[in-house]
Amino acid sequence: MIELALHILDIAENSSRAQASLIEITLIEDMDRDTLSLEIKDNGSGMDEETMNRAMDPFYTTKKVRRVGLGLPMLKHAALSAGGDFSIESEVGTGTRIYASFQHSHIDRQPIGDLPGTLTALIIGNPDIDILYTHRKNGREYILDTREIRSTLGDIPLNHMEVLHVIKENIIEGIAELNL
């Protein structure tokens, strides 16, 4: 994977397969400390210690479509290669937390990528899963909470094309405001 948005998509899809009803994605860009941190938490089925250790093996996967599970090992490698850190915590029946940090200015740090496209794709593919996306940068904060959107929409599904368009535009504007 060449950008962090693709790592987010891969891990969130793992959360979906783990029957999560809520996926929390937090991206913090701290320019003063020259760090970028990414945390993805879910309330899915979680993993026991053995499965968690195997999840870091690039030749292990629970997916039926492909025979390798490169997502987590590649994110760990990306974080460590960019002067950062990586951790994974999980508890059966409670969920999983993935954390990766990067030196923001590191030449080898992957670009953030297309977050609006990634978040929209997550909503399209998982309309019944709630997503809480928080992005902080330069003392500003953008939050997308599909629970709030869902309560406003009533019976209209999140993956309705007009709703998706409004959500994607909101994400684009919200992230743009972080860079002011």
Query: How would residue 1 be classed by pLDDT, with cut points 50, 70 and 90?
Result: low
Beta strands at 140-145 and 22-30: parallel, antiparallel or unpaired: unpaired
Collect all residues with Cβ–Cβ distance below 8 Å to 87 and sequence separation of at least 6.
97, 98, 99
Residue that is written with structure tokens 């974080």 in the block: 79
Asked whether 129 and 23 are in contact (CB, 8 A), the reply is: yes
* H helix or E strand, kind and range, residue 118: helix 115-125
pLDDT tens across 123-144, in order?
Answer: 999 999 999 999 999 899 999 9
Q: What is the pLDDT of residue 66?
A: 45
pLDDT tens across 58-92, in order?
Answer: 665 554 554 444 689 999 999 999 999 999 999 99
Q: What is the pLDDT of residue 69?
A: 46
pLDDT tens across 83-128, in order?
Answer: 999 999 999 999 999 999 999 999 999 999 999 999 999 999 999 9
Q: Is the pTM of this model over 0.85?
A: yes
CA-to-CA distance for 171 and 128, rounded, in angstroms? 19
Question: In the sheet where 35-42 sits, what is the strand order?
Answer: 85-91, 95-103, 35-42, 22-30, 130-137, 140-145
User: Which H, E and C letters describe 34-47, residue by residue?
Assistant: CEEEEEEEECCCCC
SS3 content of the chain, % helix, strand, coil (to 5): 40, 25, 35
- Domains parsed from the chain with CATH numbers: 4-178 (3.30.565.10)
